[in-house]
Structure 1
Amino acid sequence: MNVGDDRETHDEALCGNDGKLASAEAKNKPTRYWGFSPPIVYLADMAHHPSPYRLLPVLALSLLLAGMLTTQHSCAQKRSNVQVLGADRLQGSVVGDMDIRELIGNVRMRQDNVLIYCDRATQNITRNSVELVGNVKILQDTLELRTDRGYYDGDTRTASSRKGVYLNDGHVTLTARLGTYNTGSKIADFLDDVTIEDTAATITARRMRYTRDSSLIVASDSVRIQFKDENVHIVADSVRHYPDAQRSFFYNDPVLWQIDTVHAELNSLGEYDSLEIDTLNIAADFMQALRDSSNIFLTEGNVRIVREDLAARSAIAHFLRDDSLIILMGEPILWYGENQITGDSIAALLVNNELRALDVIGHAFSISRSKPSEQDTLYPPDRFDQTSGKKIFMHFEESSPQRIRIEQTATSLYFLYDEGALNGVRRESSDLIIIDFADGQVSEIRSIKGVEGAYYPEKYVTGKESSYNLDGFEWRDDRPLMIRSR
């Protein structure tokens, strides 16, 4: 059954062609009945019925006149009503001062470019709203919204539901326990168990807003994002995600995990059982993911990085995923094994998940805990091998140092051993120092140009080890640990 919208006729009874009230004509307009009993009583018919409105004081009359002026304005800018396109059954009634329609079976409705479908609907013509029940579907251009039970407000152009919501617009798929969608602004606000999925990522959160025109997703409260084409997982307090621009901004202590272990999975506590194996962990105050051709993660504020026996701290860090390169700035410090590196900036290159190279620029300083051999598990107290210069370049194989190159005002300090016995300390300075390693131990030190050096026998060193430290020496104990969960 196709049903026209009698509200249009009612508006015409109140408004003339020029938008002025036509109450005189409306008074003489015969009462119209539609659907089934009880009949609808139009506002224009109220003059013929006893009404408490006649007893209202002057204030009420003033309010009524104000309402008439508002009606004149709405006539000039005609209200967009929800129209009924069809239903199997329809009946009308008056509840209080509200005109009500009940539509049952294959309900089809429309407001401008919005189509509404459901099994049953209760339309409040006076308020321009509809309660929707059963297989609810709302369409607008490429968007489809589905729910079991919902409400549509024609004046605010807002659809809402508290019975589970599904939204798909061809760009994202969004589900939640409850939510609203405004067909005018094209903004969706969802709450509780919210999941949104696009071609690049899946985001879960307790609260989420999706702005279709700007392709912006704003999520807050227990946010988790999983990038699909890579093994990166981030949790944060809030996130701004732009699917089309492939950019994401994470706020309030975000934490990133890059899981390279094939079988690493979350357990029932939301933790990774095999987290220590081939896993990169980055935490900071703020994080930005640029997932276009650059594929870079930018982090700022109290940055902490952990991967196997490598760890770092800095004010700023850039993680270039395609190059497996980590760049640290802002008082950076990096640890690998029992070694500590500081400088104005540090670049760490990872190859096959192993440390391959370190470039330290500006006030470069390297400290290693000294021991007689690689096989020894105990370190002599207060003995640290050290190098310093304006630049330090380090090359590694299987995460073990192979060569260190110190440039410009280069200085080195190494404690010596004779078949495991303590054997003094050697200090050198020059324009360039190259240190080669074998089996994890120093095999050769070459000083080039402007060489100065000294050897101090063990009898002058024992108990006074710290007095030989290079200027700027500071062994720190604030090495960050792996963050298992949030």
Structure 2
Amino acid sequence: MRYLKHFFFILFLFQLNEVFAVKQLEILHADRLTMTERGGQKTRLLEGNVGLKQDDAILYCDKAFFYIDVNRVDAIGNVRVVHNDTTELFADTVFYFGDRRKVEARRNVRIVEGNKVLKTHILDYYLDREVAYYFSGGEFTENTLNLKSESGFINMANEQATFYKNVILIDEGYTIFADTLKYNTRQSQLVFYRNTRIVTDQQVIYCDNGFFNTKTDEGVFGRNTRVVSGHQILESDSLHYNADSGEGISERYFVWTDTIEKIIISGHYGIYNRETEQLMATRKPMMKSVMDNDTLFLTADTLFSGIDTSENRYLIAHRQSRFFKEDLQGFADSLSFSYEDSIIRMMYNPVVWQENTQLSGDTILIMMKNNQLDEVELIRNAFLIEYEGDEVYNQIKGRHIHGYFAEGSLKNMEVTGNAESVYFGKDDNDRYIGVNRVVAAGMSLFFLDNNIERIHFRQSPEAGFYPIGNSHPSEYHLSGFNWRTEYRPLSKADLLNPIVLLKEETEQKEKQPAGGGRERTGVRD
């Protein structure tokens, strides 16, 4: 039994040796064969139509030195190596190491598989792994794709290639510059790393990493992505992009800039289309616009920006839109701005604040001129409230109010249709003694330092002065009075807080007016 075990063990070793044994190169053909010695080794010199074979590899050349003892061939002149009947290697000189199954190709090297071609001058090819490395600069082509780099390797088995240093890829419609680039030829997918630049006729894309499919024209770009398209710039750390349609989706923080209109829109989710120049931003979106040597900040649940039929840019803020500027703040459920007429249109419960003055109406139009406030219109149910302090509010209402600015400050207003006003008088000790109430067809208001200086009433006004007595001025409110500072953003940071939080914070501020007292349907007589 012991001898039988030894027999089977020896048989196993023999079979194992057969499996892993490297076959000797064999000569298929040569016009002349000369026995010689070279470098102290027995050598067969093969000349003319030389052919040698080892397993799945066949070598052709003009002349070869065959070192029998080390199973090696030095092939010279018109060298061609055919591997697996699918891959061909061409070179001026090839050093074929049979025991290591390695091919070292030198000068005018080409390796071809189907429509894929790699050209270089120094290349090492490992037959068993089907991997080719090049080190002295190379050019890879596949159909219309052309790629150059200083070094790289191609895996013929899994159809993947990696290219290093000064990579330049040119294909129909785009050029890619990268430090490192991987290419899966089966899936037509490019993966790039570090300092990548993609240039097309319409735009330039910069990124540190990402991938792109050359068949579908779709890609995902990662860290430090920057898309420059004319005067528009989109920056993000995650951008899904379709180069054919021009649509990009960012699922992380992004910043979009229009350098001509001088606006910046950011958010944590956005959709951008290069062809239509449309942008949708949500998840804490923010717009910044340089205006009157100041910056206007605008937010909403969703921001839209695009180009109208007249090739002018427009902006729409949808749901709970709010804006902040040092001298002007506003709120509305919906807001739009057209760069054609420079008008901000505020709809659905809009309200605007300038210092201690609040303006409201069913619709508010704010007209800009040379990036400065020029006019404001309160359309239907127009209401102006001026806060004097200690819950005292001067009030003016009408069907329509039209205000005019000079150098960013409110200068005069025209009130038309059912005009009413309430403002308070003081004695010499600066104590409130009575309320002036006026009803007229129209009024003209004149402002100084954004405060009402005087009022002119038109068409037989009805006026009355009513002593306050022991009551407080906060009890005298016109119908429709609503002091809405819980919606007022007090800083850029307030814009990103939910309105509920703004209201809670406002109520905690002792110096801020506390919501407007008891509402009454008229003035106390």
Q: For the superposition of Structure 1 and Structure 2, which TM-score range results when normalised by the shorter chain?
A: 0.7 to 0.9
Give the SS at the match of 1:466. Answer: helix
User: Retained in 2: the 8 A contact 1:37–1:93?
Assistant: no
Tell me whether 160-169 or 392-401 shows the greater mean CA deviation: 392-401
Q: Which residue of 2 aligns with 1:87?
A: 120
1:299 to partner: Cα distance: 0.8
Size of the aligned set, in residue pairs, is 393
Q: Which residue of 1 aligns with 2:368?
A: 350
2: distance between equivalents of 1:335 and 1:81? Answer: 71
Are residues 404 and 438 of structure 1, via their aligned partners in 2, closer, same or farther at CA, if it must alter by over 3 Å?
A: closer
Are residues 297 and 435 of structure 1, via their aligned partners in 2, closer, same or farther at CA, if it must alter by over 3 Å?
A: same
Asked if 1:282 is matched to 2:298, the reply is: yes
Q: Paired residue for 1:392, among 385, 401, 415?
A: 401
1:320-359 map, 5 Å: 320-359=338-377
Q: Paired residue for 2:269, among 214, 222, 238?
A: 238
Q: Which residue of 2 aligns with 1:425?
A: 435
Give deviations 1:81-102, integer Å, cap 9, x for gaps: 551152213343233xx42333
User: Retained in 1: the 8 A contact 2:291–2:372?
Assistant: no
Q: Which residue of 2 aligns with 1:445?
A: 456
User: Retained in 2: the 8 A contact 1:231–1:260?
Assistant: no
2: distance between equivalents of 1:236 and 1:333? Answer: 24
Are residues 350 and 438 of structure 1, via their aligned partners in 2, closer, same or farther at CA, if it must alter by over 3 Å?
A: same
Are residues 119 and 361 of structure 1, via their aligned partners in 2, closer, same or farther at CA, if it must alter by over 3 Å?
A: same
2: distance between equivalents of 1:202 and 1:429? Answer: 54
Q: Which residue of 2 aligns with 1:477?
A: 485
Structure whose residues are more often strand by fraction: 2
Q: Paired residue for 2:184, among 142, 149, 153?
A: 153
User: Retained in 2: the 8 A contact 1:208–1:219?
Assistant: yes
Are residues 130 and 398 of structure 1, via their aligned partners in 2, closer, same or farther at CA, if it must alter by over 3 Å?
A: closer
Tell me whether 142-151 or 290-299 shows the greater mean CA deviation: 290-299
Are residues 91 and 225 of structure 1, via their aligned partners in 2, closer, same or farther at CA, if it must alter by over 3 Å?
A: same
Are residues 213 and 429 of structure 1, via their aligned partners in 2, closer, same or farther at CA, if it must alter by over 3 Å?
A: same
1:352 to partner: Cα distance: 4.6
Q: Percent identity?
A: 19
Q: Which residue of 2 aligns with 1:57?
A: none
Give the SS at the match of 1:105. Answer: coil
Q: Which residue of 2 aligns with 1:33?
A: 58
User: Retained in 2: the 8 A contact 1:363–1:388?
Assistant: yes
What TM-score do you get using the length of structure 1 for normalisation? 0.73
User: Retained in 2: the 8 A contact 1:429–1:447?
Assistant: no
Give deviations 1:377-413, integer Å, cap 9, x for gaps: xx4x332111222222222334444433333332221
Tell me whether 215-224 or 336-345 shows the greater mean CA deviation: 215-224
Are residues 157 and 481 of structure 1, via their aligned partners in 2, closer, same or farther at CA, if it must alter by over 3 Å?
A: same
2: distance between equivalents of 1:34 and 1:304? Answer: 76
Letter in 2 for 1:359: E
2: distance between equivalents of 1:352 and 1:338? Answer: 25
1: distance between equivalents of 2:212 and 2:373? Answer: 49
Q: Which residue of 2 aligns with 1:412?
A: 421
What TM-score do you get using the length of structure 2 for normalisation? 0.68
2: distance between equivalents of 1:104 and 1:368? Answer: 78
2: distance between equivalents of 1:232 and 1:193? Answer: 20
Q: Paired residue for 1:212, among 243, 261, 264?
A: 243
Q: Which has the larger radius of gyration?
A: 2
Asked if 1:200 is matched to 2:231, the reply is: yes
1:309 to partner: Cα distance: 1.8
1: distance between equivalents of 2:288 and 2:470? Answer: 45
Letter in 2 for 1:309: D
User: Retained in 1: the 8 A contact 2:179–2:193?
Assistant: no
Are residues 461 and 364 of structure 1, via their aligned partners in 2, closer, same or farther at CA, if it must alter by over 3 Å?
A: farther
Q: Paired residue for 1:255, among 270, 280, 286?
A: 286
2: distance between equivalents of 1:448 and 1:37? Answer: 114
2: distance between equivalents of 1:477 and 1:149? Answer: 56
Give deviations 1:115-170, integer Å, cap 9, x for gaps: 12222232222222222223222111131112222211111101112343221112
User: Retained in 2: the 8 A contact 1:234–1:254?
Assistant: yes
1:303 to partner: Cα distance: 1.0
